């Protein structure tokens, strides 16, 4: 198991708020990963939902029910307008429930939500809006897009939610569910794999920090993560790893290889390669990380992303691998995002058509009440 290299590291302390079913599960997995790795980057975690059954599988995060007077713990049935309404109605209770979870050490608050459902896609933008009025740390949304095969309602919900979230949050860290689904595997069967991928990438990002005992030559500080996201909009995160050699000079090629894979094939938003700012983090034993390889990878990243703001550094870890994280900010104009928005618009039109067309089953309408 990966662990610290024995020195004190100033990581990026975050508070996690999972909204909706997917948001709660991802916040749970992130908190569990942080505990397994002994990073202590997650300062507090809370899952918020309108459906009581969704809380049953959560062990690492505390829970808070919203909308009890409207939906009685049964959820909003994919209605994200209702999800927004009940979050707005209960937001003061939610903010009160955050006491003890958002500590003075937190450098950012991360709202985690699936953007295709009802509670998460409707509630996350509302919550981000109110959090910005209360806290003076960055408010990020870790938003998860539905896969292509998850149905038109989810696509339409996610389109409306994403448009609103980007406006309300300081930055939106976007994950496409299709990014890590294996060939022939449905999104539904791959949810656990997707959540593991999210937890590893973002867990390592939050934990990357400043080694103050002088072990690493150019370690990453949490402020560099914040500055990379300062431009707002949409960001993606890539990751890749490979076995490390004991001789750092032998790892120059490995550093270049994992950096390429992180951006080109391992990112949370496939095909998003151009951005306004980027951060390259190379994780591994300090003695295994070659300076020449890191600088070469950083220059390649500048050329590939066409960004003049490319930060970089090390993340000292006791591990036998070399890993690369690539955080890319300002990717909202990428083809991948535009393709999704086109899909969401088409899905919204399809949903509107469903409402307008008469039901094919003459007995399925509700104009006549059942006798029983």
> Could you report the per-residue pLDDT of 265-311, keeping only the tens digit for each?
999 999 999 999 999 999 999 999 999 999 999 999 999 999 989 99
How many helices (H) and strands (E) in the chain? 10, 12
Residues spanned by CATH 3.40.50.1440 within the chain?
A: 9-207+337-348
Strand partners, 240: 324
Which token pair is 217?
């030559």
C-alpha atoms less than 13 angstroms from C-alpha of 240 in its C-beta half-sphere? 17
Which token pair is 321?
């691998």
- DSSP code, position 320: S
Rounded CA-CA distance 100/86 in Å is 23
The CATH H-level superfamily of 235-329 is: Tubulin/FtsZ, C-terminal domain (3.30.1330.20)
Neighbour tally for 97: CB within 10 Å: 18
Closest CA to 130 of 96, 102, 95, 98: 95
Print pLDDT tens along the chain (372 aa).
333 334 444 568 999 999 999 999 999 999 999 999 999 999 999 999 999 999 999 999 999 999 999 999 999 999 999 999 999 999 999 999 999 899 999 999 999 999 999 999 999 999 999 999 999 999 999 999 999 989 999 999 999 999 999 999 999 999 999 998 776 666 666 888 899 999 999 999 999 864 433 444 578 888 999 999 999 999 999 999 999 998 899 999 999 999 999 999 999 999 999 999 999 999 999 999 999 999 999 999 999 999 989 999 999 998 999 999 999 999 999 999 999 999 999 999 988 877 555 555 443 444 444 333
E-assigned strand segments in 244-361: 277-284, 310-316, 321-329
Residues 58-106 have pLDDT tens digits of 999 999 999 999 999 999 999 999 999 999 999 999 999 999 899 999 9
Which token pair is 257?
């290889």
In degrees and rounded to multiples of 5, residue 244 shows phi and psi of -100, 145
Which token pair is 68?
């009890």
Q: Reduced to 3 states, what is the DSSP secondary structure of residue 185?
A: coil
- Write down the pTM of the prediction: 0.90
Residues spanned by CATH 3.30.1330.20 within the chain?
A: 235-329
9-207+337-348: CATH topology: Rossmann fold (3.40.50)
């Amino acid at each position: 198991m990966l662990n610290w290299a024995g020195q004190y590291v100033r990581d990026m302390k975050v508070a996690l708020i999972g909204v909706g079913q997917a948001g709660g599960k991802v916040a749970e997995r992130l908190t569990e990963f942080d505990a397994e790795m002994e990073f202590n980057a997650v300062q507090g975690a809370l899952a918020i939902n309108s459906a009581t059954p969704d809380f049953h599988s959560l062990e690492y995060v505390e829970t808070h029910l919203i909308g009890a007077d409207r939906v009685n713990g049964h959820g909003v049935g994919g209605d994200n307008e209702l999800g927004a309404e009940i979050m707005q109605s209960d937001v003061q209770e939610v903010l009160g429930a955050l006491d003890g979870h958002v500590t003075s050490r937190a450098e950012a608050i991360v709202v985690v939500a699936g953007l295709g459902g009802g509670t998460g896609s409707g509630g996350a933008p509302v919550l981000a809006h109110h959090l910005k009025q209360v806290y003076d740390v960055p408010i990020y949304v870790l938003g998860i897009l539905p896969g292509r095969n998850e149905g038109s309602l989810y696509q339409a919900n996610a389109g409306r939610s994403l448009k609103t979230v980007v406006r309300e949050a300081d930055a939106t860290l976007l994950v496409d569910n299709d990014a890590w689904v294996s060939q022939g595997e449905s999104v539904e069967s791959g949810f656990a794999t997707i959540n593991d991928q999210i937890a590893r990438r973002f867990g390592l990002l939050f934990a990357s920090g400043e080694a103050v005992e002088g072990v690493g030559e150019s370690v990453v500080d949490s402020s560099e993560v914040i500055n990379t996201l300062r431009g707002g909009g949409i960001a993606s995160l890539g990751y890749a790893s490979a076995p490390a050699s004991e001789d750092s000079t032998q790892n120059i090629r490995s550093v270049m290889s994992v950096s390429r894979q992180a951006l080109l094939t391992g990112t949370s938003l496939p095909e998003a390669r151009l951005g306004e700012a980027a951060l390259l983090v190379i994780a591994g034993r300090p003695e295994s990380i070659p300076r020449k390889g890191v600088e070469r990878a950083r220059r390649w990243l500048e050329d590939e992303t066409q960004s003049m703001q490319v930060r970089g550094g090390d993340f000292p870890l006791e591990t036998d691998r070399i890993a690369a994280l690539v955080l890319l900010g300002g990717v909202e104009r990428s083809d991948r995002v535009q393709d999704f928005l086109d899909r969401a618009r088409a899905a919204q039109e399809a949903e509107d058509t469903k409402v307008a067309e008469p039901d094919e089953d003459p007995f399925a309408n509700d104009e006549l009440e059942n006798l029983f």
